[in-house]
Structure 1
Amino acid sequence: MVESGPAADWARKQVDQGRVPVAVLGIGSSHGISDVVAFGHDDGRKATTDDHFALFSVTKPISALTVMRQVELGKLSLVNSLTDALPGFGAGRTDTVTLEHLLSHRSGIMDTQLDGGTPLREDLTTAEQAFYAGSLVQYCNVAFEGAAAMAEWADGRPFEEQLSSLATDTGAKGLTFHTDCNPHTVRGAEEQGLDVEGMYKKRHPGAGLFGTATDLLNLGTELLRNSGKAVRPATLAAMRRPRTTGISHISVRPKPLRHTGLGFQMPANESELLAQGIYGHPGWSGTEWWMFPEQDRCVVFLTNVLDTPDLGVDTNELFNAVAAS
């Protein structure tokens, strides 16, 4: 059982040492969910295994899976231009921003605030150019609004409806952009100057989802099975293919360096890890969702504190605990 295993011990340690107030850890495989455990209290609220958390950037691979469903249906191409879907985007740009660029942080779009009162689509269409598309790598949240716009252009349905279909098909029905799921309060936002409620109103396809450990484990088990319920095996393989190797990164946080595929991230320095082939994504709020194909494992770690690496939360320790379990 996970409750007494090394991964659970690691999660419990983060709470016991005061790095995070609450933690939910889940482990699954292609055979299903192995276990989910919860630790800690936050302002009198005891963490439970069914709690929703703000996923922040764990949203990105889920949105990417949603968009890639349109690619495998032949309705959309990785080389389609964002201006096909949004003719008003990038006035004055001489380059072409493609879907591949958007999903791999190579769009050259200068990122916009996660919060603020401007509609997200307007943020995107008026965003300035940071570099020529494809020439560099720079993490960009608003690019995923561009990918969502392209999925809507291809399919005709609102993006949230498309993502809901993915969630239903994979047993992740608790995934939502709605705050009525009673998520845990995010800690550290005031220090970072982030208006969390303002961010929630954006319903951001790069950072706005809420979910439970069970939601992410159910989706992860389908990816490990390569069942095709999320995307087809060839699509998943393409999403896991690094698109940023050998390209210069513009980054304010150089470590840990990770390669980017289409929505998914992969550890760049596997020499530090017991496992190879890991893919998934972290979230600013301390959330983690990773698949270990060689070990047939999926791990979910959910908490509610911004910038947990700065507080001593080392996910390489978690990766190695999962790989050895």
Structure 2
Amino acid sequence: MRVDVAGEPVIARAYGLADRANEIANTTDTRFGIASGCKPFTALAVLSLIAEGTLDLSTTARSVLGSDLPLIDDEVTIEQLLSHRSGIGDYIDEEDPSLDLADYVMPVPVQQLATTEQYLAVLDGFPQKFPPGERFSYCNGAYVVLALIAERASGIAFHELIEARVCRPAGMTDTAFLRSDELPRRAALGYVEMDGAIRTNVFHLPVRGSGDGGIYSTVADVAAFWTALFERRLVSEAWVAEMMRSRSDDASDTSRCGLGLFLHKTRDVAMADGMDAGVSFRSVHDPAMSTTHTVISNTGDGAWPLTRALDDALDLT
């Protein structure tokens, strides 16, 4: 975990083990999977393409997808995908009360999901839940569709696009879509409790993430991301304002939804979070107070007690 004030770390702590079998401890520069914490990066890649005129918020998914994913309504736009208002069917529907992320939820062997185009195999076959734009409904699949759109429109592989449009200009040198079956030094294994045993999450998640999740990062890189975003090094001031403008005030009891970012219920505070098998992540940035707090864990629930305590300590409840 890490707390930054005015761009400088004031607290940085690490707990637990990155590799239980080899008793390798987590450190403050351990690289963790951050699950849906990468959705803001996907949004920024798309917005950068809009800013240069390659796409538009009103561009329809159909105009880029062609005949792929025919159950997506022809009127679904990039803006609706970014703001979780597209209504498309989701391949991992977090509104399903029976969903257990500790289960093996991927419908194809996870090693077959290494490129964004390969995700077509899991995105297809889900009908629209409601007409485009009708209401908010959190959607993982929407962000994989956005990754497909960005890749096809730019002609640049999605993972390379994130590196070029987000990581490099933000100075995020330890952030990348790593393969779970060849993790480098300083990368933490994710752990899941199943059948009374603690196991790694290597069979639970795609071998390499895409637009909805799966990037690896560090607490320092996440802090660098917020600094770069609000210093307008990633997109212009106008586009930062668009990201921070609520499209759904009722995203949850505690948050609103902008473009790629969740927002505090009553304040202009930006939030990113993620949860998956063997992953929990939350980062909160208050631009007015120049404060950031980030907690990343390599278990599915490890981040939540500490991030709630930091909310209380920094008056962000």
TMscore range, shorter length: 0.7 to 0.9
The answer to whether the 8 A contact 1:55-1:208 is kept is: yes
Amino acid at match of 2:136: V
> C-alpha deviations, 1:11-65, integer Å up to 9, x for none?
xxxxxxxxxxxxxx11234544444321234632312011011100101112111
SS at match of 1:283: strand
> C-alpha deviations, 1:146-174, integer Å up to 9, x for none?
11122123322111111001201111121
Partner in structure 2 of residue 204 of structure 1: 210
1:277 to 2:268 alignment: yes
Partner in structure 2 of residue 298 of structure 1: 292
Equivalent runs, 1:58-207 vs 2, <5 Å:
58-91=37-70, 95-113=74-92, 115=106, 116-117=108-109, 119-165=118-164, 166-179=166-179, 180-182=183-185, 183-188=187-192, 190=194, 196-207=202-213
Instruction: State how far apart, in whole Å, the 1-side matches of 2:129 and 2:284 are.
Output: 30
Q: Closer, same or farther in 2 for the Cα pair 1:267/1:222, shift >3 Å? A: same
SS at match of 2:4: strand
Q: Closer, same or farther in 2 for the Cα pair 1:93/1:220, shift >3 Å? A: closer
Q: Closer, same or farther in 2 for the Cα pair 1:230/1:60, shift >3 Å? A: same
Instruction: State how far apart, in whole Å, the 2-side matches of 1:112 and 1:93 are.
Output: 12
Partner in structure 1 of residue 2 of structure 2: 26
Q: Closer, same or farther in 2 for the Cα pair 1:291/1:227, shift >3 Å? A: same
The answer to whether the 8 A contact 2:61-2:74 is kept is: no
Instruction: State how far apart, in whole Å, the 2-side matches of 1:110 and 1:234 are.
Output: 31
Amino acid at match of 1:63: T
1:213 to 2:219 alignment: yes
> C-alpha deviations, 1:222-256, integer Å up to 9, x for none?
22xx322111111111011111125xx6xxxx6x5
Q: Closer, same or farther in 2 for the Cα pair 1:124/1:304, shift >3 Å? A: same
Gaps of 5+ in 1: 1-24, 271-275
Partner in structure 2 of residue 289 of structure 1: 283
1:259 to 2:250 alignment: no
TM-superposed CA distance for 1:196, in Å, is 4.2
CA RMSD of aligned residues (A): 2.7
Q: Closer, same or farther in 2 for the Cα pair 1:55/1:74, shift >3 Å? A: same
TM-score (ref. length: structure 1): 0.78
Q: Closer, same or farther in 2 for the Cα pair 1:48/1:79, shift >3 Å? A: same
Amino acid at match of 2:84: H
Instruction: State how far apart, in whole Å, the 2-side matches of 1:307 and 1:172 are.
Output: 25
Q: Closer, same or farther in 2 for the Cα pair 1:186/1:194, shift >3 Å? A: closer
The answer to whether the 8 A contact 1:189-1:195 is kept is: no
SS at match of 2:305: coil
Q: Closer, same or farther in 2 for the Cα pair 1:143/1:235, shift >3 Å? A: same
SS at match of 2:293: strand
- Alignment: residue pair count: 283
Amino acid at match of 1:176: A
Instruction: State how far apart, in whole Å, the 2-side matches of 1:210 and 1:173 are.
Output: 11
TM-score (ref. length: structure 2): 0.80
TM-superposed CA distance for 1:258, in Å, is 2.1
Structure with greater helix percent: 1
Instruction: State how far apart, in whole Å, the 1-side matches of 2:200 and 2:14 are.
Output: 27
> C-alpha deviations, 1:113-171, integer Å up to 9, x for none?
46333631232344322111111221111111111122123322111111001201111
TM-superposed CA distance for 1:267, in Å, is 2.6
TM-superposed CA distance for 1:292, in Å, is 0.6
Q: Percent identity?
A: 24
Amino acid at match of 1:233: E
SS at match of 1:282: strand
Q: Closer, same or farther in 2 for the Cα pair 1:189/1:240, shift >3 Å? A: farther
Partner in structure 1 of residue 235 of structure 2: 231
Match of 1:322 among 297, 314, 317: 314
